[in-house]
Structure formats: structure tokens, C-alpha cells
Amino acid sequence: MERIVFLERNTIEAHFRRPDFDHEWVEYAETTAEQVIDRARDATIIISNKLSLGESQLSNARDVKLIAIAATGSDCVDLNYCQRRGIAVCNVRGYAVNAVPEHVLMMILALRRNLFAYRADVQARLWNQSKQFCLLTHELHDIRNSTLGIVGYGSIGRGMARLAESVGMRVLISEHKHAMNIREGRTCFEEILRQSDVLTLHCPLKDETRDLIGLAEFQMMKWTALLINTARGALVDDAALIDALQTGLIAGAGLDALREEPPCHGSPLLDLNLPNLIITPHVAWASREAVQTLADQVIDNIEAFVSGRPQNLLA
């Protein structure tokens, strides 16, 4: 009988049907890093989300044979260790193909229309003092006919391209940074930086993508451009972003991810009070529809593995 241990149940607000095979289901609302070793000890299948799982956490979990990540990103799991141990790892894919692009579009529109600057002006009673029927204190821009550069062209990147094209944006798909060859349909990374009116990140966090966007990249971008990051906080150099926003290297940024989540020790980005910076608490993925799709796929992955037909494997 399988013993399924769900370490972070409260991170997924959706209904999880029980797998269609003989099993014991154990779930914990939250699990701290210190509790992982004990709670994973007797598991044969672990469901995790953002907890770090590697040798130090799993060395005593001798019976575990599958880690089912309730997310797409796998940077929290040591895939090399799991491969050496013969532990299969799977993730969920494509569940947020509408949710994340819609969140990105929301940020683009809010920044291009200076939504928060205008909201602040209205609250400060500046409209009351206007000599005209309207208050034109900030620039307003259409997004139609502007260029969107997409870095990371998985299911969410493709969903972003479809949504952007539907509102009249020109879409460019980035080739990998430092790539020697440019694939058909892609544009070199540096050219994406130079041409984009909006740059949106949808790539995984790996050694080669850490600090993907730094000062040199901001210097290549248009001063009127926006950066949107709904992927992983460490894709962007925080100090460089702050400098770019404060000196006008770029026009604005929308972030749904920070380096530390939750930011228990603070973040210099959270100390900024700028109308052209929007920060949301890693919720772009979390529409009700997307989260239920995620939960269903987690169980689909587990059932497929137990039946001998594993899917969405990473290791």
C-alpha cells in the first residue's frame, strides 16, 4: 500500500480527489524545513510545493519512490540526487496557461495607463482642483502595435503570445541568452532587449538563468520599456532593477516573484514607493480555475506513476 504524504496542503486551495488505488493519505497544512525529515520518513509518495527536498531532507526516507511537485518549477528539488537514488520526480504543466498571461496583461495595462499614479492623484484631490474636465498628469499609452518580448516559451510563454497577439501586440520569442545559433521563429536575446516595449519572463530558474536580467541588460532596453517577471525572483538582479527604475533606464516593472518567498527578511524592492512598480505576492498562477486544474493533474501524475505509465517526469 502506498503512503502518500502531502507536506504543504495549505499552499493549494483546491479539492484533491483521492487516488484510485489502495493508499494511506497523510496531509499537513504546513511543514517547516526542520519537520521535513520526520514527516517524509515513511512516505512512498511525497507531494510538495516549495519545500527544499534533497539529500539532507530525504536520506532517511528510504521508501520514497515518487515526489509529485504541485507546481511547474522544480528548483526546490535536487533532481540530481533524486536520479541517483532512483526517486522519480514529476511536476504539473500547462495549468496556468490562462491565469499567468492574464496577470501579465493586467500589469502591462496598469503600467502603460499609469493606473496607480492616477489613483494616487485622485486620492490626493488633484482632480478636484483641475481647470478641465479631466486630469492629465501622467502619460497614457496604448499597447496595440507595441512589441512584447517573451523569454521562456513553454506552455505559459505560448499562452502569453496568444493573448498578446489577440490585443494587437507584436510578439518576439527570445532565443537563449548566449546562444550560438538562432532557431527558426526566435530572435536573439540581445535584440529582444533592444526591440521590446514590454519584456516578460517565463523561464525556469537554473544556474544559467540566475540574474538573467542585470544592469547590462537594462542598459540595452528602451527607456520606455517595461519588465514583467511572473516566474522566479532570482531571474532579475534586484539592485540593478532598483537602479533602472530610479534612474529611468526603464519605464516600469511588474513583479509577482521575489528572491525570498515569503520575504520574511524584507526586500529592498518592497521598500520602494514608486507608481511604476507593481509587486503582487506570487499569485499570478492562482486563479480558482488554474488551481483546480493543478490539483487534478497532481493526482493524475500519481495515478499514472503507480499504474506504470509515469508522466511529466523530470527525473
CA 236 to chain centroid: 12
Task: Tell me the residue length of the chain.
Answer: 315
Q: Which of 282, 288, 289, 303 is catalytic?
A: 282
Q: Which of 260, 261, 288, 289 is catalytic?
A: 261
CA 171 to chain centroid: 20
Active-site annotation holds for 261: yes
Residues with Cβ within 8 Å of 21's Cβ and at least 6 positions away in sequence, in order, are 2, 303, 306, 307
Active-site annotation holds for 178: no
Active-site annotation holds for 30: no
Instruction: Give how far Cα 46 sits from Cα of 35, 73, 261, 274, 294, Å.
Output: 14, 16, 21, 42, 16
Dihedral, CA of residue 268, residue 277, residue 246 and residue 141, to nearest 10: 170
What are the residues facing 53 on neighbouring strands? 77
Residues with Cβ within 8 Å of 235's Cβ and at least 6 positions away in sequence, in order, are 201, 203, 205, 209, 210, 211, 212, 213, 229, 257
Give catalytic residue positions.
Answer: 232, 261, 282
